[in-house]
Amino acid sequence: MVGGEHVDAPPSTAGTITFPAGSAAPMHGYNCDEQVTILEGRILAEDAGIQSESGPMDTSFILVWLPHRFVDIVDGDLKILRVHAAAEVTRTFTNSGETRSSSAAGVHGQTRLVD
């Protein structure tokens, strides 16, 4: 992830994440707005009770604390670019209420720095 003290701009954190084929993210929300762009693969996303499919170069904007989730719906890996509107990002799981830092590598999968 790139963000915090490494960026001379309004607070933000960005990075790419690769999920293995068939992965799913549980319902969760962030402490900040999130922008997600699908780089490879296809997902079925759900937020506010609405389901939609997204594929390469589709971008979604998710409001702060809006519970959302996705499922990888193809046989190959899923690669996404995510940008958060905060230097310190936390993710809260809807079912358990557990909150975790989401600013470090390895939170969802393999995180790589954005060039």
Residue 17: strand pairing partners:
80, 111
Range of the domain at 54: 2-112
Q: Which residues contact 5 (CB under 8 A, 6 or more apart)?
A: 87
- Total domains in the chain come to 1
- Measured CA to CA in angstroms, residue 113 lies from 3, 10, 16, 40, 66 at distances of 10, 18, 7, 17, 25
What CATH number is associated with residue 93? Answer: 2.60.120.10
pTM of the model: 0.78
Cα 18 from chain centroid?
11
32 three-class SS: coil
2-56 residue pLDDT tens: 555 665 667 889 999 999 998 988 999 999 999 999 999 999 999 988 999 999 9
Which has the higher per-residue pLDDT, 10 or 91?
91
